[in-house]
Structure 1
Amino acid sequence: MFEEASEVFDNMFKSSFPLTFIVFIPAVLILVSPLPAEAAHEFTVYRMQQYDLQGQPYGTRNAILNTEARTVEAEVLSRRCVIMRLADFSYDKYQKALRQSAGAVVITLPKNMSAMPQDIVQQFMELEPEMLATETIVPVYFAMEDDELLSIYTQTLTSSSSDSFPPLCSCWCDLFVLLLHTATANGFQMVTSGAQSKAISDWAITSLEGRLAGVGGEDLPTIVVVAHYDSFGVAPVIQLWSLCMFILPSHIVFNRVYRYNLLFFVSGGGKFNYQGTKRWLEENLDHTDSSLLQDNVAFVLCLDTLGNGDSLHLHVSKPPKEGTPQYSLLKELEMVVSSQYPEVKFSMVHKKINLADDMLAWEHERFGIRRLPAFTLSHLPSHRLAQRSSIMDVRPHVDVKRLSRNTKVVAEALARVIYNLTEKGAPGDLQIFTEQMQVQEEQLSAVVDWLTAQPRAAQLVDKDSSVVSTLEYHLGRYLKDVKRHYVKADKRDPEFVFYDQLKQTMNAYRVKPAIFDLLLAVCIAAYLGMMYLAIQNFGVLYSVVRRITQPKAKAH
């Protein structure tokens, strides 16, 4: 077969040189050209939050993307998909893309976010609330970096930097080189496979309740321990790794509890103005004749963000008065910390409830509005700190040893209140939870690992979620009368609205810029023109070739 092909090309070359040049040379160029690069790359993207709260829209309002990629260095971003790396992200660059009506914004995150420099992490955490604060028409996505996505970013950066032409004083050679570079650079068309986002109808936020009845009388006061299990950040699905840590010191639950009833509540929708707690209070205080909350409530202890730090802060809306049960808890916390954990700094932080704010600062304020004595224990000194609601709050930021220690502090202080140990003269360094009753750090670490491996955004945790069922199972092991509470938004005036299309597949298709077609057309026209001139003047061309290739006659 190859011999026959060789003979055909040989005869063609001998019989018609111009025809050979026109047909043979392009065929050789096609055959020897390198194999084409991969034409498309598929990767998963996570859309920014989209929700309505009390009628106010938050986050991005769009989910469809089909436009060419650029980096923020390009001069023109209109109708382009702007790719940014977290390491280079700034709010000014983000606003530049929005001001120029970009087609979309894709922010790439490193796989190991805990290895990012702390100044970059802190900067992004502080910017997340600003990104969510206003309604954004431009679809905003987040993607985890891999080698191919980094390659796409690098090639797009090259294309973006060549968008601007040199000044008129530049030489024509530089202009030609830039034009050639622009025409031959690779571009990428970014396309999402999902549909437009729409509101999720009849979504139910699930909360859990369990209790232990006290012994020694029918009208005992009630101690309520509250924690919310959901997490929050600029992209809800990335909360797969995020942790807004809560603890539930269930190991303080005894077979016989004296002087107090204990009521435990694990609330949902905590990051959406504590919707689960709000509805639970309405059900117990407004729509029932029998509830532990309607009786004598000693205090409500809310737990929030206790997974790190060497300080504990008791946040209160009204300082407790001496002689009240809440004052006793304050003093017991001070005693346990000073006597058993001197490395911990304990303080009380007083902040009044501001009903004019769209969002309450702490969960205890929900109870304070209903005139129930409540406070929140946290290692954070302020509700404004960014790590409470950030995708940067990842598993390595949780110190299991500190979490275990803080759990012991809560357990010891509550036990001293329940059994009135201070009035009975028990020393402050008396440890109640010893040996088998101690917190098992290995078990606690396993629980934390499991929790941080589950999506816990309120939009993703439905009544059939493994998070809810697992929490319900563990509560049932220690408490009585464990039951669920569901919150659905009012159809006429919804308190909250969630939207779908939070996780999508994005394709990056390799394309050439429009100028490439123009340059290719010019090259083809020039090639055909040269071939036409060569055929029309073949005699002259043939004479020149003969004169050059014919050996010179030897002189005698």
Structure 2
Amino acid sequence: MFEEASEVFDNMFKSSFPLTFIVFIPAVLILVSPLPAEAAHEFTVYRMQQYDLQGQPYGTRNAILNTEARTVEAEVLSRRCVIMRLADFSYDKYQKALRQSAGAVVIILPKNMSAMPQDIVQQFMELEPEMLATETIIPVYFAIEDDELLSIYTQTLTSSSSQGSLSAAEVLTLLQNKKSGRLAGVGGEELPTIVVVAHYDSFGVAPWLSYGADSNGSGVSMLLELSRLFSKLYTYKRTHAAYNLLFFVSGGGKFNYQGTKRWLEDNLDHTDSSLLQDNVAFVLCLDTLGNGDSLYLHVSKPPKEGTPQYSLLKELEMVVGSQYPEVKFSMVHKKINLADDMLAWEHERFGIRRLPAFTLSHLPSHRSAQRSSIMDVRSVSPSSRYGVEEPHVDVSKLSRNTKVVAEALARVIYNLTEKVGGGGGDLQIFTEQMQVQEEHLSAVVEWLTAQPRAAQLVDKDSSFVSTLEYHMGRYLKDVKRHYVKADKRDPEFVFYDQLKQTMNAYRVKPAIFDLLLAVCIAAYLGMMYLAIQNFGLLYSVVRRVTQPKAKVH
């Protein structure tokens, strides 16, 4: 019987390899089955910005990763996915990962960013532009922490500290517009037009985490509230002013104000359908107005005395000085530098086309980090202990700033200062039923910050665009939507997808274990092969050993 079995196995190896595979694979599976690789956690990750602006690439250029995880404390990071928490993040550590040609970088963000110490928040906001300034080859992702992800980080940190060559490791695998509306004045054919502008898009190192609460959710909220207030004044004949009011909400503001640029081209270069055919008194751009006790009027060219823009400057000074003495108001003059790749403020787009314009903001400089940060969120953060202005929206201050702008605009439109003989600083127009509604402002800010508004994520079919159009249509007439598309032949801007993905973390044995397992399997298969090839000899040896010895009496 054993001789026949030996012939069967011998023929199977010589003429039927698939059958051999079927017979021996269960043995391999039995050997490997106690040590499976288990999926530890599946979580959502958000990729760093990737876009081209005027032919210059920015952000990360890759998306796919499948590599072993390490923390930045490990000595060797080459071809590893480097995990780091925001609390431990620094630009030096980030550069260390890039210098060592890491396979990827994953930065873990806290669930509640407003609970982070303000020095860490400020440091990260200042680093975001530097991270985007240069082209990064490796994938860079952000993830929101949870218990499982923190557990993965802790275990990876332990492994990295001990260099973990024999311990378990984690392997991370990545699976694969503009609107305008107007209020028409009364009293003549060619009335001067005042344009109120705000861009709605947000910006940060990761598009899906860019909520832009203060920059520029506050500006859009103020514009909508101003349109509500002045629509009431323009409803009645006796308060219908001799100015046209044009409210313009633009997209692409964070990409060199591309939406505003294209809108100006459409309305100035094609005069048949222009909204700016009339005399433009001035353009007031609203940007980052939801916090602080300062207001700055940024101008490219100081207004001349006797012009409408000079009147607005003086009215702002008068309203702030008489009604809100706690607010510091000043004008900041900065010439337009056409050599720069990026314009400083939105009013510069209008200034290039020789339209009198300025930007009102609580920020003293366009270089402020919070204008382009994922830390710019709605939540109110704890009091700063470091003297740093916190990147969030204070609705009470936004309401105050809205009233300042509304009162100053009304004084210009109705020429109230001249009518009361240059005085009347304490005169308030928007009171009682006409007052600024803080609840309305809060609701609009809440809606704006309930979704990321990065330009890559907001298209013409977006519910955000439709809702914004509805809001403007409630108070304004002739609300129109304008579309901007990149020129296919010579695009000024190019966006890329794969900005939100799912990542899996698997617990696996280290590479040395795989090598040891392969050697054991090879040895096992070799022994089995030799045993079958020499089954007759093996049988005789076994029989000789197991055969009972004859007893001699």
Cα RMSD of the aligned pairs, angstroms, is 7.0
Distance 1:488 1:33, change over 3 A: closer
Question: CA contact under 8 A between 1:69 and 1:187: conserved in structure 2?
Answer: no
The answer to whether the aligner puts 1:501 opposite 2:481 as a matched pair is no
Aligned to 1:141: 141
State the alpha-carbon separation in 1 of the partners of residues 255 and 49 from structure 2: 12
Residue-by-residue CA offset, 1:382-419 (whole Å, 9 max, x unaligned):
00010000001111811010011111111010001000
Distance 1:498 1:535, change over 3 A: closer
Residue-by-residue CA offset, 1:27-56 (whole Å, 9 max, x unaligned):
999999999895331000000000111111
Distance 1:22 1:349, change over 3 A: closer
Aligned to 1:174: none
Residue-by-residue CA offset, 1:298-356 (whole Å, 9 max, x unaligned):
00000000010010000000000110000000000000001111111101000000001
Distance 1:149 1:347, change over 3 A: same
State the alpha-carbon separation in 2 of the partners of residues 58 and 453 from structure 1: 27
**Structure 1, unaligned runs of 5 or more:** 163-182, 199-208, 237-241
State the alpha-carbon separation in 2 of the partners of residues 149 and 74 from structure 1: 19
Question: CA contact under 8 A between 1:310 and 1:344: conserved in structure 2?
Answer: yes
Distance 1:243 1:13, change over 3 A: farther
Distance 1:400 1:27, change over 3 A: same
State the alpha-carbon separation in 1 of the partners of residues 177 and 44 from structure 2: 17
Residue-by-residue CA offset, 1:217-263 (whole Å, 9 max, x unaligned):
11111100000000000000xxxxx99976433356545878x1111
Moved more, 317-326 or 513-522: 513-522
Question: CA contact under 8 A between 1:50 and 1:59: conserved in structure 2?
Answer: yes
SS in structure 1 at match of 2:484: strand
1:288, CA displacement in angstroms? Answer: 2.5
Moved more, 121-130 or 281-290: 281-290
1:127, CA displacement in angstroms? Answer: 0.5
SS in structure 1 at match of 2:428: coil
1:290, CA displacement in angstroms? Answer: 4.7
Distance 1:188 1:327, change over 3 A: same
Distance 1:398 1:545, change over 3 A: farther
State the alpha-carbon separation in 2 of the partners of residues 7 and 537 from structure 1: 10
1:79, CA displacement in angstroms? Answer: 1.0
Question: CA contact under 8 A between 1:18 and 1:534: conserved in structure 2?
Answer: no
Moved more, 379-388 or 37-46: 37-46
Question: CA contact under 8 A between 2:181 and 2:478: conserved in structure 1?
Answer: yes
Aligned to 2:375: 392
TM-score, normalised relative to structure 1: 0.79
State the alpha-carbon separation in 1 of the partners of residues 267 and 14 from structure 2: 100
Distance 1:28 1:499, change over 3 A: closer
SS in structure 2 at match of 1:281: helix
1:552, CA displacement in angstroms? Answer: 32
Distance 1:143 1:19, change over 3 A: closer
Question: CA contact under 8 A between 1:319 and 1:350: conserved in structure 2?
Answer: yes
Aligned to 2:315: 332
Question: CA contact under 8 A between 2:105 and 2:138: conserved in structure 1?
Answer: yes
State the alpha-carbon separation in 2 of the partners of residues 6 and 545 from structure 1: 14
Question: CA contact under 8 A between 2:171 and 2:507: conserved in structure 1?
Answer: no
Residue-by-residue CA offset, 1:424-451 (whole Å, 9 max, x unaligned):
1551111100111112212221111111
Question: CA contact under 8 A between 2:38 and 2:506: conserved in structure 1?
Answer: no
1:160, CA displacement in angstroms? Answer: 1.3
1:510, CA displacement in angstroms? Answer: 0.8
SS in structure 2 at match of 1:108: strand
Distance 1:549 1:313, change over 3 A: farther
Count of equivalent residues: 517
- Between the aligned residues of both structures, percent identity stands at 92
Residue-by-residue CA offset, 1:272-309 (whole Å, 9 max, x unaligned):
00000000000000022353423211000000000100
**Structure 2, unaligned runs of 5 or more:** 208-217, 235-242, 379-390
State the alpha-carbon separation in 2 of the partners of residues 197 and 27 from structure 1: 63
1:6, CA displacement in angstroms? Answer: 33
Residue-by-residue CA offset, 1:196-232 (whole Å, 9 max, x unaligned):
899xxxxxxxxxx001111111111110000000000
SS in structure 2 at match of 1:138: coil
Distance 1:34 1:148, change over 3 A: farther
The answer to whether the aligner puts 1:406 opposite 2:387 as a matched pair is no
Question: CA contact under 8 A between 2:37 and 2:506: conserved in structure 1?
Answer: no
Residue-by-residue CA offset, 1:161-184 (whole Å, 9 max, x unaligned):
22xxxxxxxxxxxxxxxxxxxx78
Question: CA contact under 8 A between 2:28 and 2:521: conserved in structure 1?
Answer: no
1:154, CA displacement in angstroms? Answer: 1.0
Aligned to 1:284: 267
State the alpha-carbon separation in 1 of the partners of residues 396 and 501 from structure 2: 37
